[in-house]
Amino acid sequence: MSKTKQHIRSGKPTSAEQATTTTNNGWIKWVLVFAIALVTFMVFSPSLKCDFVGNWDDNEYVNDNPLVVSNHLAVKEIFHTPVSLNYHPLTMLTLAYNYQSSKLNPLTYHQWNLWIHIFNTLLVFFFVYLLTKQNLLMAAIVSLFFGIHPMHVESVTWISERKDVLYVFFFIAGLITYLNYLKQKKIIWYLITLVLFILSCLSKAMAVVFPIILILIDYYLLHQPSLNTVFSKRNILTKIPFLIISLVFGGVAYSIQQSGNIMQAMHVFTFFERIVFAAYGSLMYIVKMIVPVNLSAFYAYPIYNSAHSVPSIYYLAPVLLIGVSAIIYFFFRKEKAVVFGSLFYLVSVALVLQFISVGNAIMADRYSYLSYVGLLFVVAFIVHHSSLKTSKLHKLYYPFLLLLGIGAISFSIKTYAQTKIWNNAETLWSNAIALDPDGCYTGYVNRGYVYEKRGDNELALADFSKSLEINSGTAMAHLDRGAVYSNLGKDSLALLDFNKAIELNPSNPEQYYNRGRTLVKFKKDSLAIIDYNKAIEINPNYSLAYMNRGIVYFTRNLFDLALTDYNKAIETNPNLDIPYYNRGIIFYNRTQYDLALADFSKAISLNPNVQQYWQYSALTERALGKTAEADADDKKAQELGTPAQ
* Stretch (H or E) spanning 520: helix 509-521
H helices then E strands: how many in the chain? 30, 2
What pairs with residue 569 in β-bridges? none
Q: What is the DSSP annotation of 390-447?
A: TSTTGGGHHHHHHHHHHHHHHHHHHHHHHHHHTTSHHHHHHHHHHH-TTT-HHHHHHH
The answer to whether the CB of 497 falls within 8 A of the CB of 482 is: yes
The dihedral of CA 584, 585, 587, 592: what is its sign?
Answer: positive
Rounded distance, CA 292 to CA 153, Å? 11
Given this model, what pLDDT does residue 370 score? 97
Rounded distance, CA 444 to CA 434, Å? 11
Closest CA to 442 of 414, 416, 480, 499: 480
Question: Where does CATH 1.25.40.10 sit in the chain?
Answer: 576-645
In whole angstroms, what separates CA 458 from the centre of its chain? 30
Given this model, what pLDDT does residue 20 score? 45
513-541 pLDDT, tens digit each: 999 999 999 999 999 999 999 999 999 98
Give me the helix-helix angle, 162-184 and 187-203, nearest 10°.
170
Backbone angles phi, psi at 142, to 5 degrees: -65, -45
Rounded distance, CA 223 to CA 229, Å? 10
Q: How much is the pTM?
A: 0.85
Rounded distance, CA 47 to CA 136, Å? 29
Given this model, what pLDDT does residue 262 score? 53
CATH 3.40.50.2000 fits 576-645, yes or no: no
Rounded distance, CA 40 to CA 31, Å? 14
What is the CB neighbour count within 10 angstroms for residue 628?
Answer: 8
Backbone angles phi, psi at 525, to 5 degrees: -65, -40
Given this model, what pLDDT does residue 64 score? 85
- Rounded alpha-carbon distances, angstroms, from residue 166 to 65, 66, 204, 585: 19, 21, 8, 47
Given this model, what pLDDT does residue 260 score? 59
3-state SS assignment for residue 71: coil
Rounded distance, CA 541 to CA 519, Å? 22
3-state SS assignment for residue 581: helix
The answer to whether the CB of 513 falls within 8 A of the CB of 548 is: yes
Rounded distance, CA 582 to CA 590, Å? 13
Given this model, what pLDDT does residue 26 score? 77
Given this model, what pLDDT does residue 272 score? 82
Rounded distance, CA 431 to CA 420, Å? 11
Q: Report DSSP state, residue 550.
A: H
Positions in the chain whose pLDDT score sits under 50: 1-13, 15, 17-23, 265-267, 305-307, 643-645
Given this model, what pLDDT does residue 261 score? 55
Q: Report DSSP state, residue 108.
A: H
